[in-house]
Structure 1
Amino acid sequence: MIILKTPEEISKMKKAGELVAACHREIAKRIRPGTTTWEIEEFVRQFTKENGAIPEQKGYHGYPYATCASVNDVICHGFPKKEPLVEGDIVTIDMVFSVDGWMADSAWSYPVGQVSEEAKALLDTTKESLYIGIEKAVIGNRIGDISNAIQTFAESRGYSVVRQFIGHGIGRTMHEDLQVPHYGPAGKGPRLKEGMVFTIEPMLNIGSYAARIEEDGWTARTVDGSLSAQYEHTIAITKDGPLILTDQTI
């Protein structure tokens, strides 16, 4: 069942979203060659503690960390590690915070130092595809309109769209009953209504969209070793258009 939120509830979720966005802004200052994703993990744990938030990913179905840290060919759900990032890497940090029982979710991909033109183009296109999808998140459209806009744009630039992982409803729990694929035909899926809150989180690969899961049961990599990037916002459907709850400027 899709759970519609009241304006008051959306306001509460926005508080969580603003904190996630603030944390991402701090992470952006810390991503550089020599930094480890374990240091980012420790920073996020301290950040949530100091700001009265709960890192909801930690303990979710046994996931042991506050962040997902996905480097280069890792699509998503990578574990934070003590191995230093190196010049030219790209890394996605994904976080879900709960504030007073309401959640917000955002992933952001970061260049580590100077990256290749190929990597930069992937990052730029993935971020742009997120906002192209958000433009379609208006009352009366369908989920498929978001999905198709993202796929059409990404594939026009020569990238593949990951099928295995999709956006989702969110509120008092991390995953609610609304699925948001980033591919598929327009005009399909649930019609968008005021009060819906969900994530849009396209993952684009330079090569094949296929993923493989490592033995840890979480880490998803591209099957061909190609680079992958992801950008994600939590949005609310309002009468005035899509409201980005995790809005940030990086």
Structure 2
Amino acid sequence: MTIRPGRRRPLLMACTLAALVAGCGPGDDPKKAGAVPAQSRTDSVAAPPKSFTANVTGDISRQLAVKGDDVEIGFLPGSSTTPMWFSVSGVDAHDDSSFRVTSGIVSPFAFTAGVDQKAGSASVEIVQGDKNESYSTARYAQFFDADPKASNSVGHLTLTKAEKLKSSSDLLDRYHLVGDFSFNAAAVPDDLPADCSHEAAMATQDGERHPPFKAELCSARKVAVSAHFDVVQDFTKAQ
């Protein structure tokens, strides 16, 4: 699959760990989540700049520090039948290259400080010309997570500040959110080596194995991500 370089909106959909090797990628259709980017809803009062920093370590080592429009918020207000969800991303894009770190989708989400909120589909995407590297929590579960419950493949987001501010619209709630998130992610080649798939199929004939694939046979790579964000944002009120 060819990935266009440059900036892209955040992935506004929920992707479960059942996605296995495919993970949650840039080809997913955000319309399936029925969500609207929160940053498209602003009032006439200028909000303070958003900021986002991330540190990626492991098989790659990179840092990200962006502000303003390079910090992207995904949000679904929820209703009596659907949970509220939230995501935050930072992206540094230049011509034919981009570097994106995404918290993944926190659902259900609460505007509450000091609570560990779990996130799915967290990812790191690096595009350089025609080359694309995509690290995801779903792939980490398949190639590195030895826990049967895949607890090491879940993102964690905690708000350290959730201050409700005055909004100019009765339809919006304005919040000052400060928080941190972290996750483990992995990447594999688009075409897995034959030994990788064959060994996994043979090993699981007698039952499950965790992880199901051997990372060294599959040329899998892993990273650990920690990030911090500080945003003032208008959010559509829940129905």
* TM-score of Structure 1 vs Structure 2, range by shorter chain: under 0.3
Larger helix proportion of the pair: 1
TM-score (norm 1): 0.26
Larger strand proportion of the pair: 2
Structure with the greater alpha carbon radius of gyration: 2
TM-score (norm 2): 0.27
